[in-house]
């Protein structure tokens, strides 16, 4: 199994997929032109039909690949009559970020969960960002997104045995809180609520400009080579009743979060 699970598509004041295209190229390799099944279902844009949103998302990703000089035949699942057939014929699978609830709704509606899971477990590379990383987990329940639609199930691809919270941010410093007059829960608070109800599950917080590179049962935390704003890149590991852990970029670990 080979996965690239990216926290975010866009860094502050940078282009879409700009920071992670080198990772995507490394992940896919350059030996052959790959046929990629692209899942745009998370992209829901105000004032557009879903088809228009999906078309725009597909063209945007194609443009990123072209601008980076990475050749690929990117075919969107929404543009074909039989998306399961597309999955079975593809060399790689790529899932866009956006709204995780809508993504999972469409995955179940189109009966794509099991075909994608089977294909990836057989060795087809899978990459996704934000919502696309969320759905690599057992369920969508650690998404940050608004529940704009109700899927028939919260079950996802279940490639990894833990939950991911993408775009993880720390609690605001006190001075920022004073300026914002924000007294609500931090991201950590909300994840700990989840853990209270689901004590058997591990949740990892992926900060911006980081990604999980998974090969079989080994995971490496990758990061963007640039860090102009000196942001934290460590991955947060949260378990019920345990001290919060941080894993450094460049570290390799197993599914139980043990360093190897």
Q: Beta strand pairing status for 2-6 and 163-165?
A: unpaired
* CB neighbourhood size of 143 (10 A): 27
- The verdict on residue 170 lying in a domain is no
User: Average pLDDT of 53-64?
Assistant: 98
- The verdict on residue 14 lying in a domain is yes
Q: Name the residue with higher pLDDT: 177 or 142.
A: 142
- The verdict on residue 196 lying in a domain is no
The pLDDT score that the predictor gives to residue 103 is 99
Q: How many domains does the chain have?
A: 1
Catalytic residues: 130, 145, 167
**Domain, as residue range, for 127:** 2-161+207-229+248-254
Pick from 38-42, 145-149, 171-175, 191-195: least confident: 171-175
Domain CATH number, residue 126: 3.40.50.880
SS3 124: coil
User: Average pLDDT of 78-98?
Assistant: 98
| DSSP-based helix, strand, coil % in the chain, nearest 5 | 30, 20, 50
- The verdict on residue 59 lying in a domain is yes
Pick from 51-65, 135-149, 166-180: least confident: 166-180
- The verdict on residue 143 lying in a domain is yes
Average pLDDT of every residue of the chain: 95
- The verdict on residue 234 lying in a domain is no
Q: Beta strand pairing status for 92-95 and 163-165?
A: unpaired
Instruction: Tell me how far apart the alpha carbons of residues 207 and 34 are, in angstroms, rounded to a whole number.
Output: 29
The pLDDT score that the predictor gives to residue 227 is 86
- The verdict on residue 197 lying in a domain is no
Contacts of 114 (CB under 8 A, 6+ apart): none
pLDDT tens per residue across span 186-228: 899 999 999 999 999 999 999 999 999 999 999 999 999 888 8
- The verdict on residue 67 lying in a domain is yes
- Classify burial at 136, counting beta carbons within 10 Å of its beta carbon; exposed 0-12, middle 13-18, buried 19 or more: buried
């Amino acid at each position: 199994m080979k996965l690239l699970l990216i926290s975010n598509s866009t860094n502050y004041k940078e282009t879409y997929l700009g920071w992670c295209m080198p990772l995507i190229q490394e992940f896919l390799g350059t030996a052959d032109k790959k046929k990629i099944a692209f899942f745009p279902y998370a992209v829901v844009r105000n004032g557009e039909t879903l088809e228009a949103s999906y078309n725009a998302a597909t063209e945007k990703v194609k443009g990123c690949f072209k601008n980076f000089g990475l050749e690929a035949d990117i075919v969107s699942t929404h543009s074909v009559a039989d998306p399961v057939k597309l999955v079975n014929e593809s060399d790689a699978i790529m899932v866009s970020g956006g709204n995780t609830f809508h993504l999972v709704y469409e995955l179940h509606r189109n009966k794509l969960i099991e075909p994608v899971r089977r294909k990836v477990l057989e060795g087809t590379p899978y990459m996704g960002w934000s919502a696309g990383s969320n759905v690599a987990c057992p369920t969508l329940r650690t998404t940050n997104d608004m529940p704009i639609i109700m899927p028939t199930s919260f079950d996802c691809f279940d490639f990894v045995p833990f939950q991911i919270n993408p775009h993880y941010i720390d609690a605001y410093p006190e001075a920022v809180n004073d300026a914002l007059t924000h007294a609500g829960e931090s991201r950590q608070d909300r994840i700990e609520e989840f853990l209270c109800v689901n004590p058997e599950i591990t949740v990892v917080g992926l900060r911006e400009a980081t990604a999980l590179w998974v090969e079989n049962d080994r995971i490496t935390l990758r990061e963007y080579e640039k860090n102009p704003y000196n942001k934290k890149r460590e991955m947060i590991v949260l378990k019920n009743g345990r001290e919060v852990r941080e894993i450094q970029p460049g570290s390799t670990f197993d599914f139980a979060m043990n360093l190897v």
